[in-house]
Every structure is written in structure tokens, then in C-alpha cells.
Amino acid sequence: MNIQTQLLPHKHIKFSESLIGLAGFVRKILQQKPCTVDEVWEFLNTEDSGWLRKPSFDQVVIAFVILFSLNQVKELDNQKFCVVT
């Protein structure tokens, strides 16, 4: 499966499997407190994260790239990311 078919949900890709959906959920996590990419990935791989699937590390990184390119998050000095207000 290539990046274009994973980016947006459609009849073969559920919202919970799309990178846009994952990026929105990552943004929600970062609204609560600044986190590193590793911390977000570890949280998403727990049972009580609220996300339906356990994403790969690559998918989490791509979600951060999407948020960063849309100017939704910014990097702090200590390699943590927070939501742009």
C-alpha cells in the first residue's frame, strides 16, 4: 500500500487506519501536554489510548510531518512537540 492510499480515508481505508485520522488524534494528545514522538508512539500502543489500531512508528512520524507541514505543531527546545496556538 502506498502513501497516497493511506493518507485519506476511503472505501478501502477506514478513518482509524488513515494517516490524516492518526494526525488528528496525535494533535489531540499534544493539546494535553507536550510530548516527544517516542512518547506519543508508546502511548498509542497502549490499550487505553483510545485509538482503535496500534500504529507503526513510521505512521506516527508521518502524522507528525503532516501536522508540522500544516503548521499545527511546533518543536520545543527539548525535542518535544506542542500544538501551535
Q: pLDDT for 28-45, tens place per residue?
A: 999 999 999 999 999 999
Domain 3-83, CATH 3.40.190 — does that match? Answer: no
pTM recorded for the entire structure:
0.83
Residue linked to cell 502524522: 63
Percent of the chain with pLDDT over 90: 64
- pLDDT attached to residue 1: 52
